[in-house]
Amino acid sequence: MILETEPVCKSKDTEETWQQSLAGAITDPKELFELLDLNLKHLPAAVQADKTFSLRVPRNFINRMVKGDWNDPLLKQFLPIAQEFDLQPGYTADPVGEKNTNPRPGLIHKYHGRVLLIVSGGCAINCRYCFRRHFPYAENNPGRQQWSSTLDYIANDSSISEVILSGGDPLAASNSLLSGLVQQIAAIPHVKTLRVHSRMPVLIPQRIDKECLHWLTSSRLNPVMVIHCNHANELNEATGTALSQLRNAGVTLLNQSVLLAGVNDDPTILRNLSERLFAFGVLPYYLHLLDKVQGAAHFDVEQDHASKIVAELIETLPGYLVPKLVKEQAGARSKTPISLY
Ligand SMILES: *Cc1c(COP(=O)(O)O)cnc(C)c1O
Ligand code: SF4
């Protein structure tokens, strides 16, 4: 275990269904403050910021944190705070320019060979730095009929070899929806790879149930899952079990992180994260510079500083445990690599 302190309360990881964990997430700032013994002087700001993008965190995630610690690296990722109202030049509502690459409802085609499907607008957690915090999900939540026009788009472009289920968190959708969708994708001959971008194995590990493993691995598509984890404290025994099940079923496991000031902008923290991920069979993939989304400026790490952090990682880790430092640029044909020296 990474945490040396006692958990806040007994884990219910194994007792609750994933649907119960998802529905029972903490959304009331006051309840969060009480559960974690946080200083109530910050509550009014939390309530205010919650109105612009609501608080959401699963209860079992709370068990991985230290009570009363305002600087807990997990807390900072989802706690609404006053600094979100400090508007900074250059921070916008659509920093990665997705509204212009949205040819069908729920489909984003920005990069060669890959399309991204927005399967669910919801997430198990609301990350304060998320570039989708202002995305028009209501317009991008296709009903079953609209999926057929999206699937036609993929079928009519033979350059598309990979379909990425994304969101929100695609694993917030039901197994029956996902399994039906995957069958339809697998019926398009030029698609070879099925990728899932999800924070669920970390947040609500029991989401990786039998049915999920089945639709992921039973089609002819090559399955890849990219999880999202920013700090080693996010990974506990239950997440380890979920990840092993995915790996044993033949899913290639990768991780993406966002470089966040006050959370993981430190070579030792990132080294621990890479090593812990690898112990669970996951390789680091991307380390993203923050997307300049309104309300997240306090998370920003200067590009030069980011390069230095990763240069230090390279000195102490095998190459396969060093994530690629990248940023998203509106209009670019891929993620943009950041040079280190
Ligand atoms: C990141 C991203 C992808 C996947 O890019 P990879 O470099 O293959 O991981 C695809 N589509 C969109 C819109 C993306 O933002
Ligand atoms: S899409 Fe990812 S980063 Fe954004 S809120 Fe959901 S889990 Fe967090």
Condensed to tens digits (0 to 9), the pLDDT of residues 190-229 reads 999 999 999 999 999 999 999 999 999 999 999 999 999 9
* d(CA 341, ligand 2 centre) in Å: 30
How far is residue 215 CA from its own chain's centroid? 21
Q: For 101, how many CA atoms within 13 A lie in the half-sphere containing its CB? A: 19
Label residue 62 by pLDDT band (50, 70, 90).
very high
Under DSSP, the state recorded for 49 is: H
Cβ–Cβ under 8 Å, residues 14 and 60 = no
Q: For 43, how many CA atoms within 13 A lie in the half-sphere containing its CB? A: 14
Dist CA 171 CA 165 (whole Å): 9
Our mutation pick for probing the ligand 1 site, out of 99, 114, 130, 338, counting the most ligand atoms within 8 A of Cβ, is 114
**Is the C-beta atom of 123 inside 6 A of ligand 2?**
yes
Least confident segment among 15-19, 153-157, 267-271, 299-303: 15-19
Using a pLDDT cut of 70, give the percent of the chain over it. 92
Closest residue CA from atom 3 of ligand 2:
130
**Is the C-beta atom of 164 inside 6 A of ligand 1?**
yes
**Is the C-beta atom of 335 inside 6 A of ligand 1?**
yes
Q: Is 302 exposed, middle or buried (0-12, 13-18, 19+ CB in 10 A)?
A: exposed
Predicted model pTM: 0.94
* d(CA 127, ligand 2 centre) in Å: 5
**Is the C-beta atom of 224 inside 6 A of ligand 1?**
no
What pLDDT, in 10s, does the model give residues 253-262? 999 999 999 9
- Domains of the chain, earliest start first: 18-85 (no CATH), 98-337 (3.20.20.70)
Position 136 pLDDT exceeds 90: no
Label residue 17 by pLDDT band (50, 70, 90).
very high
- Which pair of structure tokens corresponds to residue 151? 């699937």
**Is the C-beta atom of 324 inside 6 A of ligand 1?**
no
Position 6 pLDDT exceeds 60: no
Dist CA 200 CA 276 (whole Å): 17
- Which pair of structure tokens corresponds to residue 184? 């339809």
Dist CA 253 CA 46 (whole Å): 35
Cβ–Cβ under 8 Å, residues 259 and 77 = no
Under DSSP, the state recorded for 90 is: T
